[in-house]
Amino acid sequence: MFRKSFYILPLLFCQLNTGLFADENQEAKTDILFLKIQELEAEIAELRNKIESQNYLIEKLINESLSSNEENTDDIENLALNADIRFKGIEDPKSKDQIYITATDALEAQDFDKASNLFNYFVESFDDEEKTPLAFFWLGEISLINNDFVISENYYLELITRYPNHYRVPLAHKKIGDIYLKNNDQKTAKDKYNFVVREYPNNTASSLALQLLKNME
């Protein structure tokens, strides 16, 4: 009887550990998919605003040109040229978009080395108010998944410091709290979670931080 228990208990322990690691990997994958959906929704809203603004400006330019000289058909051609010059550089270069898309695809496929290399190249090569802070955030996520806590915190702090008004800042603060919690520094983790709840009460990050605070009671 004791001999059977001696062999069975280690097997049960191994199965339990395997299940826990599987749950952690599945949770990380779910978090990535959820955050990517949020990111795509924000990008769609941003593109819609850009299109509306550009259409308004183009229409305004056309009306101004027609009112100044309705009979001069050359004005329309000049207007198109001026519009091209005016809007040149507003739209992202294809190379920049492609690098970012390839990086997020690699992240979704859990090819973290490839994703990390591409995101690092992106932040070193481009200064895009929308995508560069997101690249810093994903670099923090990849480092957190790899348990590189110091590097992860540095990426989140880079996002917070350089882009304080970006919509990912509240979640970056919450993620720093997660790092402290993983390092068994519950006091600092609680302080960080309370900061998120206090400073960003209407943000999703606040709800996540509040739930973690309740779990720590």
pLDDT in tens, 9-18: 444 444 544 4
Query: pLDDT at position 125, please?
Result: 87
Closest CA to 154 of 132, 131, 137: 137
Q: Residues 6 or more apart from 162 whose CB is under 8 A from it?
A: 133, 136
Percent of the chain with pLDDT over 70: 58
Residues 124-130: contacts with CB under 8 Å, at least 24 apart: 125/96, 125/99, 126/96, 128/92, 128/96, 129/163, 129/166, 130/42, 130/43, 130/46
d(CA 120, CA 127): 12
Residue 90, φ and ψ in degrees, nearest 5: -70, -45
- Tell me if residue 127 falls in helix, strand or coil: coil
Cα Rg of the chain (Å, integer): 25
Query: pLDDT at position 4, please?
Result: 44
Query: pLDDT at position 94, please?
Result: 58
Q: Does pLDDT of 114 surpass 50?
A: yes
Q: Which residue has the higher pLDDT, 152 or 46?
A: 152
Residue 36, φ and ψ in degrees, nearest 5: -70, -35
Whole-model pTM: value is 0.61
Tokens (6 digits) for 138: 């994903």
> Picking from 14-28, 141-155, 171-185, which range would have the lowest pLDDT averaged per residue?
14-28
Amino acid at 110: Q
Mean pLDDT for the chain overall: 75
Query: pLDDT at position 190, please?
Result: 96
Tell me the domain boundaries of the chain: 1-91
Q: How far is CA 212 from the centre of its chain?
A: 21
Helices 94-108 and 112-125: angle between axes, nearest 10 degrees: 150
d(CA 57, CA 64): 10
pLDDT in tens, 25-66: 566 666 676 676 766 666 665 555 455 545 544 554 445 444
